[in-house]
């Protein structure tokens, strides 16, 4: 559509003359902005060098046939990506990781929440119990892996022998029990951490709400369901996302305890990606798997945030 | 004025920080000459037996012969870290000046190693030893030690039970049966870590590569397959036999635990290599350990298995090529150092005329079997790379634990072919 200039009403706006003080203020703002930008440069440089460039390089490599050592790399398009969905080992490792995440999220959330509620009450020696439950958080997952290897392999079987029992504690020796063994080790380490988040959340709940409920004749259970749980919404969001993403990235614990075995029964996705890149010299294929895994993590985090935040708002 | 000073101080600090980051990024961290004119060479080493003693030995010898050269050692675990460390160092152009490479791993790294073919000191080695490590007729490493693989056994247990040394696999199983019926656990098994992967090549050397030395190349070309090969089926079945007669919970035992079991005489035999003896003797210095070759199904293939083990290579991008070559020359020519090295590591030397002084029955046994002729483990190691052997080990484990049938394990091993990079083409 052509607009006839003649029909267009002319607009004339009389702008007030810029006062000298305003110009000076803008100049100062410009100098201030420049200073902020300069100050932002070091972290930006770290971010670009440490995150953006490797990410772009990784995505580029995923479209090549680079083996990680060779001086040459050839463009092969989507071949690596098409391979992934036919790769039974990738799918199995993903299934294992997803199961590990689901069980961890459930167990750790429930256990941490219950411990927090118990240790927020007036029981004797609660600081001692808090310290004991939190202590394993301070250990490295490598050490935790070694502790539980020793526990299942030597300590518990010795107790078994001493008591004349025949309970099979060698959880890491069978594909059927390895998940249980890893869940025990992982939960033993992290429940204390999430318990502290819930404790902080519980202590932030205003006491007058409970008092009002008491006045209205509310029972302990009603207070728990209608006040405690809703008020802990933000803590539940933090814990669920933290446990889930931490479980999806599990690596050190498995390396130090089962090595992904027996067979491939406890090989996590990150571990399979690492082995493909550095052991099997399939760097470009590992890059493609990393890109897919990153997308899965992003989708997952997005859904979690949307669902949980929505619930918080509704509350 | 105060605001002006604080603003410019902030700017100055920011610029200094950025400058220092850029300077750090551009700095050379691959070693170099210090102010006193001494050259520091970095050495990547994966030996894990008596490392303090071997490091001091090498440093003292090099310092004596090359006073201007200092060696700085970095130790890693070959099984778990060597491949990833090499890959990241190569990508970052930070390959250490000298690298200890396991015999058989060289084809992966030739592009990044110094060509030593024309160095005078390489003539110290007999032609067959050089050939065992050459790639396309070129030398990329100074051969240093070799290990031997076979069956280590408890001499006392064998003597007390009147057991003859088995020469075939069937005879080995008869020995295992006899030991078990006498209440003794026949085999030490540590399937938690690398034993299945290692024994995979050990069994394949006597059962497969003895018949077709190019089996792995044929696999790459599609002429052979695990599922089609009766010899490889035999290799897989050997694990079932060992599993049947091994210690309790083999999937929960690692190398250290296995060495302890064998040292405490809880088991009678251990299918492994010479690298294990130092750990066993640490646990029980008085143990009388004997050695016999890995028994094959057919007696003529029962041979001691030799593998060039520790070798030393120079980085192609080192800033001190002359010093690196001089150090490599010391490795190739200093027989006194070579002798002390093998005594410390309890292994065999590839330097001519260097013989171990370790006085142990298994050394005597190895020397006797060596004279009959040894099979080279690297024939298989080069054609079927270690990650492939390890993965085959995982499928064998799944079969032994009832998660796959034998045919499924063999097929899965075939399917993995596309997931691994072969060193040879």
Do B215 and B249 have their domain in common?
A: yes
Does B236 fall in a domain? yes
Do B201 and B53 have their domain in common?
A: no
Among B11, B111, B401, whose Cβ lies nearest the Cβ of A175?
B401
Do B299 and B384 have their domain in common?
A: yes
Does A69 fall in a domain? no
Kindly tell me the number of DSSP H helices and DSSP E strands found in chain A. Answer: 15, 0
Contact B420 A42 (CB under 8 A): no
DSSP 3-state of A73: coil
**pLDDT confidence band for B6 (50 / 70 / 90):** low
- Which token pair is A253? 């614990």
Does A77 fall in a domain? no
Does B190 fall in a domain? yes
A→B interface, C-beta within 8 Å: 31, 35, 38-39, 41-42, 45-46, 49, 67-71, 83, 87-89, 152-153, 170, 172-175, 255, 259-265, 274-283, 285
Do B132 and B231 have their domain in common?
A: no
In this predicted structure, what is the pLDDT of residue A89? 93
Beta partners for residue B44, in sequence order: B74, B99
Does B367 fall in a domain? yes
Contact B193 A259 (CB under 8 A): yes
Assess contact for B226 and B329: CB atoms under 8 A: no
Tell me whether the omega of the peptide bond preceding residue A262 falls within 30 degrees of 0, making it cis: yes
Does B52 fall in a domain? yes
For residue A201, give every residue at least 6 positions away whose Cβ sits within 8 Å of its Cβ, in sequence order, or none: A116, A231, A232, A234, A235
Does A122 fall in a domain? yes
Looking up residue A263, the CATH number of its domain turns out to be 1.10.3720.10
Tell me the C-alpha distance between A279 and B44, whole Å: 18
Does A33 fall in a domain? no
How would you classify residue B160: left for phi > 0, otherwise alpha for psi between -120 and 50, otherwise beta?
Answer: alpha
Residue indicated by tokens 């079945």: B237
Contact B403 A35 (CB under 8 A): no
Residue ranges making up the domain that contains A308: 86-314
Looking up residue B104, the CATH number of its domain turns out to be 3.40.190.10
Do B207 and B225 have their domain in common?
A: yes
Among A35, A42, A170, whose Cβ lies nearest the Cβ of B11?
A35
The total number of structural domains in chain A stands at 1
pLDDT averaged over every residue in chain B: 89
Which is it for the CA torsion B319, B322, B326, B329, positive or negative? positive
Which of A29, A36, A60, A69 best probes binding to B when mutated, by most B CB atoms within 10 angstroms? A69
Does A22 fall in a domain? no
Assess contact for B372 and B305: CB atoms under 8 A: no
Which of B396, B421, B422, B425 best probes binding to A when mutated, by most A CB atoms within 10 angstroms? B421
DSSP 3-state of B115: coil
In this predicted structure, what is the pLDDT of residue B22? 46
Contact B111 A71 (CB under 8 A): yes
Do B248 and B336 have their domain in common?
A: no
Q: What is the phi/psi pair of residue A250, to 5°?
A: -60, 130
- Give the pLDDT confidence of B358-388 residue by residue, as tens digits: 778 898 899 888 877 788 888 898 899 889 9
Among B21, B111, B395, whose Cβ lies nearest the Cβ of A45?
B21
Do B263 and B168 have their domain in common?
A: yes
Does A9 fall in a domain? no
Contacts of A69 in chain B (CB under 8 A): 86-87, 90, 108-109, 111-112
For residue B371, give every residue at least 6 positions away whose Cβ sits within 8 Å of its Cβ, in sequence order, or none: none
Tell me the C-alpha distance between A219 and A225, whole Å: 10
In this predicted structure, what is the pLDDT of residue B27? 43
Contact A263 B401 (CB under 8 A): yes
Does B25 fall in a domain? no
Contact B398 A175 (CB under 8 A): yes
Contact A281 B420 (CB under 8 A): yes
Mean pLDDT (whole number) for A204-219: 90
Which of B4, B87, B400, B420 best probes binding to A when mutated, by most A CB atoms within 10 angstroms? B87
Mean pLDDT (whole number) for B37-44: 91
Tell me the C-alpha distance between A70 and A194, whole Å: 45
Tell me the C-alpha distance between B317 and B26, whole Å: 16
Assess contact for A162 and A270: CB atoms under 8 A: no
Do B288 and B390 have their domain in common?
A: yes
Do B80 and B119 have their domain in common?
A: yes
- Give the pLDDT confidence of B195-245 residue by residue, as tens digits: 999 999 999 999 999 999 999 999 999 999 999 999 999 999 999 999 999
In this predicted structure, what is the pLDDT of residue B29? 41
**Could you tell me where the DSSP H helices lie in B193-304?**
195-204, 215-220, 230-244, 255-263, 277-283
Do B166 and B208 have their domain in common?
A: yes
Contacts of A71 in chain B (CB under 8 A): 111
- Give the pLDDT confidence of A107-166 residue by residue, as tens digits: 999 999 999 999 988 888 888 999 999 999 999 999 999 999 999 988 998 898 888 888
- Give the pLDDT confidence of B268-308 residue by residue, as tens digits: 999 999 989 989 999 999 999 999 999 999 999 998 999 88
Do B189 and B261 have their domain in common?
A: yes
Does A306 fall in a domain? yes
Do B258 and B326 have their domain in common?
A: no
Does A21 fall in a domain? no
Does B47 fall in a domain? yes
ipTM value of the model? 0.79
Among B84, B191, B397, whose Cβ lies nearest the Cβ of A278?
B84
Does B216 fall in a domain? yes
DSSP 3-state of A171: helix
Tell me the C-alpha distance between A79 and A102, whole Å: 31
- Give the pLDDT confidence of A273-315 residue by residue, as tens digits: 999 998 888 999 999 999 999 998 888 778 777 776 666 545 5
Residue ranges making up the domain that contains B68: 39-143+310-346
In this predicted structure, what is the pLDDT of residue B379? 87
The total number of structural domains in chain B stands at 2
Mean pLDDT (whole number) for A175-195: 96
- Which token pair is A219? 């029972």
Does B163 fall in a domain? yes
């Amino acid at each position: 559509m052509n607009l006839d200039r003649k029909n267009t009403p002319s607009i004339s706006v009389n702008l007030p003359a810029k006062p000298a003080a305003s110009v000076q203020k803008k100049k100062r703002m410009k100098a201030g902005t420049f200073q902020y930008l300069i100050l932002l440069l070091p972290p930006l440089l770290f971010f670009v060098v440490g995150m953006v460039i490797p990410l772009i390089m990784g995505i580029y490599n995923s479209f090549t046939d680079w083996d990680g050592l060779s001086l040459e790399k050839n463009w092969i398009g989507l071949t690596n990506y098409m391979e992934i969905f036919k790769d039974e080992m990738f799918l199995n490792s993903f299934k294992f990781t997803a199961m590990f995440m689901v069980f961890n999220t459930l167990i750790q959330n429930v256990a941490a929440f219950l411990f927090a509620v118990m240790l927020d009450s007036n029981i004797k020696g609660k600081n001692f119990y808090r310290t004991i439950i939190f202590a394993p958080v301070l250990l490295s997952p490598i050490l935790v892996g070694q502790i539980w290897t020793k526990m299942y392999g030597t300590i518990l079987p010795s107790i078994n022998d001493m008591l004349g029992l025949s309970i099979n504690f060698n959880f890491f020796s069978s594909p059927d029990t390895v998940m249980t063994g890893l869940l025990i080790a992982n939960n033993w380490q992290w429940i204390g951490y999430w318990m502290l988040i819930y404790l902080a959340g519980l202590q932030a709940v205003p006491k007058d709400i409970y008092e009002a409920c008491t006045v209205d004749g509310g029972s302990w259970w009603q207070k728990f369901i209608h006040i405690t749980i809703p008020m802990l919404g933000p803590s539940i969001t933090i814990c669920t996302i933290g446990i889930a993403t931490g479980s999806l990235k599990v690596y050190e614990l498995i390396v130090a305890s089962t090595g992904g075995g027996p067979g491939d029964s406890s090989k996590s996705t990150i571990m399979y990606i690492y082995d493909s890149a550095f052991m099997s010299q399939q760097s470009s294929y590992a890059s493609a798997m990393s890109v897919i895994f990153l997308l899965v993590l992003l989708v997952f985090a997005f859904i979690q945030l949307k669902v949980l935040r929505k619930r918080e708002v509704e509350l | 004025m105060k605001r002006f000073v604080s603003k410019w101080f902030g700017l100055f600090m920011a610029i200094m920080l950025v400058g220092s980051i850029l300077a750090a990024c551009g700095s050379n961290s691959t070693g170099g000459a210090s102010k006193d004119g001494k050259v520091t060479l970095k050495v990547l080493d994966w030996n894990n037996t008596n490392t303090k003693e071997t490091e001091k030995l090498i440093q003292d010898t090099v310092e004596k012969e090359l006073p201007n050269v200092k060696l700085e050692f970095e130790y890693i675990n070959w099984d778990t870290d060597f491949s990833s460390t090499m890959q990241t160092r190569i990508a970052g152009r930070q390959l250490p000046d000298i690298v200890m490479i396991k015999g058989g791993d060289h084809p992966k790294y030739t592009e990044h190693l110094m060509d030593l073919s024309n160095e005078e000191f390489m003539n110290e080695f007999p032609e067959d030893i050089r050939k065992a490590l050459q790639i396309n007729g070129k030398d990329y490493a100074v051969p240093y030690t070799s290990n031997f693989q076979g069956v280590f056994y408890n001499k006392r247990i064998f003597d007390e039970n009147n057991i003859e040394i088995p020469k075939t696999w069937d005879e080995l199983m008869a020995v295992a049966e006899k030991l078990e019926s006498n209440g003794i656990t026949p085999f030490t098994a540590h399937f938690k870590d690398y034993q299945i992967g290692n024994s995979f090549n050990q069994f394949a050397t006597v059962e497969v590569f003895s018949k077709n030395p190019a089996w792995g190349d044929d696999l790459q070309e599609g002429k052979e397959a695990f599922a089609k090969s009766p010899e490889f089926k035999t290799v897989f079945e050997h694990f079932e036999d060992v599993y049947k007669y091994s210690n309790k919970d083999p999937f929960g035992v690692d190398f250290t635990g296995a060495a302890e079991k064998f040292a405490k005489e809880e088991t009678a035999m251990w299918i492994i290599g010479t690298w294990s003896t130092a750990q066993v003797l640490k646990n029980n210095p008085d143990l009388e350990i004997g050695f016999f070759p890995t028994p094959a199904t057919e007696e003529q293939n029962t041979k001691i298995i030799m593998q060039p083990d520790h070798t030393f290579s120079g980085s192609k991008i080192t800033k001190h090529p002359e010093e690196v070559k001089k150090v490599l020359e010391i490795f190739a020519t200093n027989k006194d150092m070579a002798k002390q090295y093998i005594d410390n590591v309890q292994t065999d030397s590839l330097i001519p005329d260097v013989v171990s002084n370790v006085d142990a029955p298994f050394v005597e046994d190895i020397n006797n079997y060596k004279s009959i002729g040894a099979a080279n483990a690297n024939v298989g190691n080069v054609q079927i790379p270690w990650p492939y052997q390890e993965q085959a080990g995982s499928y064998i484990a799944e079969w032994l634990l009832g998660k796959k049938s034998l045919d499924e394990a063999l097929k899965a091993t075939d399917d993995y072919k596309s997931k691994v990079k072969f060193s040879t083409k």
